């Protein structure tokens, strides 16, 4: 889900200047109200206000306008910018409310969230306190194992992180420019150039990698710069500008969807609309600014920062606390609770702290609050993660002990073949969902599976060199998931294995295409495919090549200079024909069932009393598999297929929990533990597919 952010509300004043004053602008408060309500309503009803995420862009423009205007007035009156005072004021304005929400969310999350959500939640709590949350989410967006991770209750701090990073470098930029060239026009020229460069990069990155582009700071700087220019340039605006600007903001909120490539070009509409609203100024009865200056709008604007801070954790946690689904009554309750908590925390916590003479006169207390908040969240994170690790280790030890003692029994996949088993859910100790989630970061995977950010080939070898079957196992992370099984069979002296894995990169004679992927990663995959092919073809120790892939996730195009692919099957067939020509046999492993995007660890944690809810109908989970269909289309007896679906499904269902073991570590990757329990079935299927030794 795309999340939004916003800057802080203007400091409360006892005497409000007139709308034409260069300082306080009540219409800006009204504009904040529109922006924050657009964001909140989008998160509550995303199918109705499909583009409500543009509220964040409105706030970025407002921040650029207000902060630049303030800095410029300080230059005009003092001839410089007092950086220490500026940062202290920012800390005093932002941190009290943010710290309160982070602490409250940490406590509530610890009590309400399932164990499998805590490792990532604590990581994001620290990132939010340190205002680097946007970079954490940008990293997650390109991490193959985290793209489908559940939302965290502090995920919305990403935009506040962008703002804090803007506040950190913006006064320095203006101050350095003024020191070098003491003219206002020079600052305008520098900001204009920065706007154009950032906008161009935003357009490029949105096309190349939209998930990452949404969060990172460089793609958003131009929006702040647009607001900054509104503070520095003088134009003769008309009232109609305001109405056109409001129409642009609301149109983007209504017409944009999750499918809109954003920010990029699309962000121009809400950004230019906000700039027009700011430049129009609230003068004249016909101006939109007069309406935005009315008390109902400014009242929400006054608490808009707190509204933004509270709404997202309430949206995620309140239904858990009340044990009700997120239906209309719960959504109305979230909205009411958000407004109430925002009003209370603004007037009885945030405002008194900001009005404190001790904090306003001295810089160090405000800066100390900032350091203390980050340190406290870090310490809490370390402690909580230590507890979770202890619990996970304890669960792992208990589970492993039972697995060894049972010697197979009805554990894991054996539940489908054991004569005395009660499929699919056996009694007794159960593998914890926490252990399944920890399995995602298993160092054994990363030791043999490089990411798409490199062309590097990692080769892992294990098993006796004189084993009867000498096998290369090749593919994406759906091949890597069998590493536990392969190691077990190698340890039993049944296989000599060499692995060639690459996350999100299937073994094919074609260009693998993923939606809106950076071309560099696509090229890395293509180069890896060719290097691995050469190694296998030239290796006399390899007799069999076992291939599998998450083939439903990809589309294939012909390599440069090659004829167009006759069909998608040709991508795999072309690679296999090169292996066959080198005297290798090919064994194709049908892909594992898909759980249709359902996070199995979360489901297991939540549905302890009814684990059947973590199952998917077999006919839906076992959709047509491109890689096994390619083997059938080739029709060469040297290319055979092995299918382990019966170790994951019965006649009606494919299970997320079976034989006391969590089957998947997310929605489509097997846990190491469950894959190990499939070793007997894997061996039988492989020997049958490989055929007799010659």
Interatomic CA distance for residues 184 and 175, integer angstroms: 11
Adjacent-strand bridge partners of 544: 471, 585
Adjacent-strand bridge partners of 472: 498, 545
Query: In terms of domains, do 353 and 249 share one?
Result: yes
Q: How confident is the model at residue 429 (pLDDT cuts 50, 70, 90)?
A: very low
pLDDT in tens, 206-252: 988 888 899 999 999 999 999 999 999 888 777 788 899 999 999 99
| Of 189-198, 378-387, 680-689, minimum mean pLDDT range | 378-387
Q: How confident is the model at residue 18 (pLDDT cuts 50, 70, 90)?
A: very low
Residue carrying structure tokens 């291939």: 547
Answer yes or no: is pLDDT of 516 > 60. Answer: yes
In a domain, 473, yes or no: yes
In a domain, 516, yes or no: yes
Query: In terms of domains, do 209 and 334 share one?
Result: yes
pLDDT in tens, 94-128: 888 888 899 899 888 878 876 667 767 877 888 88
Residue 152 backbone phi and psi in degrees, to 5: -100, 155
Answer yes or no: is pLDDT of 399 > 60. Answer: no
Which of 90-99, 280-289, 673-682 is predicted most confidently? 673-682
Query: In terms of domains, do 472 and 346 share one?
Result: no
Query: In terms of domains, do 160 and 65 share one?
Result: yes
Query: In terms of domains, do 276 and 173 share one?
Result: yes
pLDDT at 121: 81
Query: In terms of domains, do 279 and 181 share one?
Result: yes
Answer yes or no: is pLDDT of 15 > 60. Answer: no
Sign of CA dihedral 217, 219, 225, 230: negative
Q: How confident is the model at residue 438 (pLDDT cuts 50, 70, 90)?
A: low
CB under 8 Å to 210, separation ≥6 — which residues?
261, 262, 264, 516
pLDDT at 389: 53
Query: In terms of domains, do 258 and 143 share one?
Result: yes
Average pLDDT in the chain = 83
Interatomic CA distance for residues 579 and 612, integer angstroms: 42
pLDDT at 683: 94
pLDDT at 118: 72
Answer yes or no: is pLDDT of 262 > 80. Answer: yes
In a domain, 639, yes or no: no
Query: In terms of domains, do 96 and 192 share one?
Result: yes
Answer yes or no: is pLDDT of 543 > 80. Answer: yes
pLDDT at 476: 93
Task: Report the half-sphere exposure of 391 (CA within 13 A, side-chain side).
Answer: 16
In a domain, 612, yes or no: no
Answer yes or no: is pLDDT of 4 > 50. Answer: no
| Of 295-299, 381-385, 500-504, 548-552, minimum mean pLDDT range | 381-385
pLDDT in tens, 132-148: 899 888 877 654 444 55
320 or 3: which leads in pLDDT: 320
In a domain, 424, yes or no: no
Adjacent-strand bridge partners of 470: 496
CB under 8 Å to 233, separation ≥6 — which residues?
188
Among 381, 403, 425, the domain boundary falls at 381
Domain span holding position 236: 26-381
Q: How confident is the model at residue 373 (pLDDT cuts 50, 70, 90)?
A: low
CB under 8 Å to 264, separation ≥6 — which residues?
202, 203, 205, 206, 207, 210, 213
pLDDT at 146: 47
In a domain, 671, yes or no: no
pLDDT at 637: 93
pLDDT at 563: 87
pLDDT in tens, 584-643: 999 999 999 988 888 888 788 777 777 888 899 999 999 888 999 999 999 999 999 999
In a domain, 224, yes or no: yes
Is residue 160 a contact partner of residue 5, using CB atoms and an 8 Å limit?
yes
Among 589, 607, 634, the domain boundary falls at 589
Adjacent-strand bridge partners of 53: none
Q: How confident is the model at residue 82 (pLDDT cuts 50, 70, 90)?
A: confident
Answer yes or no: is pLDDT of 384 > 60. Answer: no
| Of 200-214, 408-422, 452-466, minimum mean pLDDT range | 408-422
pLDDT at 228: 94
Q: How confident is the model at residue 41 (pLDDT cuts 50, 70, 90)?
A: very high
Answer yes or no: is pLDDT of 40 > 50. Answer: yes
Mean pLDDT confidence for 454-481: 92
Percent of the chain with pLDDT over 70: 83
Answer yes or no: is pLDDT of 366 > 90. Answer: no
Smallest CA-to-CA distance from 212 within 587, 518, 583, 614 is with 518
pTM for this predicted structure: 0.67
pLDDT at 552: 84
Query: In terms of domains, do 257 and 335 share one?
Result: yes
Tell the burial category of 419 from Cβ atoms under 10 Å away from its Cβ (0-12, 13-18, 19+).
Answer: exposed
CB under 8 Å to 103, separation ≥6 — which residues?
376
pLDDT at 502: 93
pLDDT at 17: 34
pLDDT at 303: 94
pLDDT at 475: 94
Answer yes or no: is pLDDT of 283 > 80. Answer: no
Our count of domains for the chain comes to 2
Q: Is 461 helix (H, G, I), strand (E, B) or coil?
A: strand
In a domain, 344, yes or no: yes
Between 304-322 and 295-302, two packed helices, what is the crossing angle to 10 degrees?
70
393 or 214: which leads in pLDDT: 214
Interatomic CA distance for residues 29 and 32, integer angstroms: 5
Among 555, 589, 623, the domain boundary falls at 589
Query: In terms of domains, do 222 and 327 share one?
Result: yes
Query: In terms of domains, do 325 and 471 share one?
Result: no
């Amino acid at each position: 889900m795309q999340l939004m952010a916003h800057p802080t509300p203007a400091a409360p004043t006892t005497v409000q200047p007139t709308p034409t004053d260069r300082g306080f602008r009540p219409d800006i408060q009204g504009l904040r109200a529109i922006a924050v309500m657009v964001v909140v309503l989008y998160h509550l009803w995303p199918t109705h206000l499909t583009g409500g995420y543009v509220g964040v862009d409105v706030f970025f423009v407002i921040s650029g306008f207000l902060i630049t205007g303030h800095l410029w007035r300080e230059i005009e009156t003092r001839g410089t910018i007092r950086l220490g005072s500026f940062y202290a004021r920012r800390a005093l304005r932002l941190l009290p409310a943010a710290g309160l929400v982070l602490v409250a969310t940490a406590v509530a999350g610890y009590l309400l969230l399932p164990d499998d959500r805590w490792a990532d939640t604590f990581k994001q709590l620290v990132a939010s306190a340190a205002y680097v949350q946007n970079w954490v989410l940008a990293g997650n967006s390109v991490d193959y194992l985290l793209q489908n991770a559940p939302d965290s209750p502090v995920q919305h701090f990403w935009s506040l992180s962008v703002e804090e990073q803007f506040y950190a470098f913006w006064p320095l930029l203006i101050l350095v420019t003024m020191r070098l060239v003491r003219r206002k026009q020079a600052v305008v020229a520098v900001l204009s150039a920065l706007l154009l460069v950032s906008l161009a990069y935003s357009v490029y990155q949105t096309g190349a990698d939209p998930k990452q582009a949404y969060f990172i700071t460089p793609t958003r700087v131009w929006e702040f710069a647009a607001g900054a220019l509104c503070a520095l340039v003088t134009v003769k605006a008309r009232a109609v500008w305001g109405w056109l600007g409001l129409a642009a903001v609301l149109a983007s909120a209504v017409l944009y969807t999750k499918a809109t490539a954003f920010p990029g070009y699309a962000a121009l509409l809400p950004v230019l609309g906000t700039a027009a609203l700011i430049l129009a100024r609230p003068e004249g009865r016909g101006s939109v600014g007069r309406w935005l200056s009315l008390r109902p709008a400014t009242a929400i604007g006054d608490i808009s920062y707190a509204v933004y801070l509270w709404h997202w954790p309430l949206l995620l946690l309140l239904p858990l606390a009340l044990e009700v689904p997120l239906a209309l009554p719960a959504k109305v309750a979230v909205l009411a609770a958000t407004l109430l908590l925002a009003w209370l925390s603004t007037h009885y916590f945030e405002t008194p702290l900001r009005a404190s003479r001790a904090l306003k006169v001295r810089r160090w207390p405000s800066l100390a609050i900032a350091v203390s908040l980050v340190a406290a969240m870090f310490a809490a994170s370390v402690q909580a993660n230590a507890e979770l690790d202890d619990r996970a280790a304890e669960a792992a030890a208990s589970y492993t002990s039972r697995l060894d003692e049972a010697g197979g029994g009805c554990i894991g996949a054996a539940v489908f073949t054991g004569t005395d088993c009660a499929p699919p859910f056996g009694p007794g100790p159960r593998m914890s969902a926490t252990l399944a989630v920890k399995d995602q970061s298993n160092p054994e995977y990363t030791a043999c599976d490089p990411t798409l950010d490199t062309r590097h080939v990692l080769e892992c070898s294990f098993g006796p060199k004189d084993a009867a079957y000498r096998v290369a196992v090749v593919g994406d992370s759906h091949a890597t998931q069998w590493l536990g099984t392969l190691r077990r069979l190698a340890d039993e002296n049944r296989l000599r294995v060499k692995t060639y894995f690459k996350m999100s990169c299937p073994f094919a004679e074609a260009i693998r295409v993923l939606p809106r992927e950076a071309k560099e990663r696509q090229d890395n995959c293509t180069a890896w495919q060719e290097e691995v092919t050469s190694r296998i073809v030239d290796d006399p120790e390899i007799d069999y090549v076992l291939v599998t892939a998450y083939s439903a996730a990809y589309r294939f195009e012909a390599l440069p200079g090659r004829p167009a692919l006759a069909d998608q099957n040709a991508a795999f067939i072309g690679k296999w024909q090169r292996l066959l020509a080198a005297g290798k046999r090919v064994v194709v492993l049908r892909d594992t069932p898909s759980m249709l995007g359902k996070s199995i660890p979360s489901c297991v944690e939540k549905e302890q009393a009814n684990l059947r809810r973590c199952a998917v109908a077999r006919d839906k989970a076992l959709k047509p598999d491109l890689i096994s269909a390619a083997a059938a289309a080739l029709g060469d007896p040297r290319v055979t297929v092995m299918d382990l679906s019966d170790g994951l499904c019965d006649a009606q269902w494919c299970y997320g929990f079976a034989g006391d073991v969590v089957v998947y570590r997310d929605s489509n990757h097997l846990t190491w533990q469950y894959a190990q329990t499939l070793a007997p079935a894997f061996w039988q299927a492989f020997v049958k597919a490989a055929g007799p030794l010659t």
